[in-house]
Amino acid sequence: MPAILVLNGPNLNLLGTREPATYGSTTLADVERMCTARAGELGCTVDFRQSNHEGVLIDAIHEAGRTFKEGALLGVVFNAGAYTHTSIALHDAVRSVEVPVIEVHISNVHARESFRHHSWLSPVAAGIIVGFGVDGYVMAIEALARRASR
């Protein structure tokens, strides 16, 4: 059964308690359950991870590239948090591997502070889902499954 890597960056471990007016009250564990359930319905599994450390995220992207080439991974759902706006290293990691990455943001970053308007990941992402709350994760899983079935 193919897998989808759902990768979460800094501060997403605080989801549900951090700025609920912006990010909602759903926890990261709730998001993992949603993703696992939908992926199962689509015949996939989920490898769900979170790290506050940029290097750990880079290593996960590199690993995803290898797993994708082996045919065991459909792609990556990636909410890089604030690293989206700051990390050229994550841009380079995604660019360096041949795995479809869907960039996800819970809030509409374009309606927020101007520093959040630029993404280093968008130019190398297969797609971007912004502003649909935690439902964006499920939308990204559906998109990767649809893309793989073509």
Beta carbons within 10 angstroms of residue 69's beta carbon: 12
DSSP conformational letter for 126: S
pLDDT score of 135 more than 80: yes
Range with lowest mean pLDDT among 68-72, 106-110, 128-132:
106-110
Predicted pLDDT of residue 115 = 67
Residue from 4, 20, 29 nearest 106 by CA: 20
- Provide the whole-model pTM: 0.93
Dihedral, CA of residue 134, residue 137, residue 143 and residue 148, to nearest 10:
-160
pLDDT score of 23 more than 80: no
What's the whole-number average pLDDT of the chain? 93
* Domain range annotation of the chain: 3-149
Query: Reading across the β-sheet that carries 101-105, which strands appear in turn?
Result: 45-50, 3-8, 73-79, 101-105, 127-130
Q: State how far the Cα of 16 lies from the Cα of 70, in Å rounded to an integer.
A: 36
Output the known binding site for substrate: 79, 85, 92, 106-107, 116
Instruction: Kindly report, residue by residue over 51-105, the tens digit of the pLDDT.
Output: 999 999 999 999 999 999 999 999 999 999 999 999 999 999 999 999 999 999 9
β-sheet bridge partners, residue 6: 48, 77
Q: Which two tokens stand for residue 110?
A: 């374009």
> Looking up tokens 């940029």, which residue turns up?
54
Predicted pLDDT of residue 72 = 97
List 23, 83, 91, 137, catalytic entry: 23
pLDDT score of 112 more than 80: no
Q: What percent of the chain is modeled with pLDDT above 90?
A: 82
- The answer to whether 57 and 9 are in contact (CB under 8 A) is yes
Q: Where are the alpha helices (DSSP H) in the chain?
A: 20-23, 28-41, 54-69, 88-96, 135-148
Establish whether 23 is a catalytic residue: yes
List 91, 105, 117, 137, catalytic entry: 105
Establish whether 117 is a catalytic residue: no
> Which of these CATH numbers, 2.40.170.20, 3.20.20.70, 3.40.50.720, 3.40.50.9100, describes 3-149?
3.40.50.9100
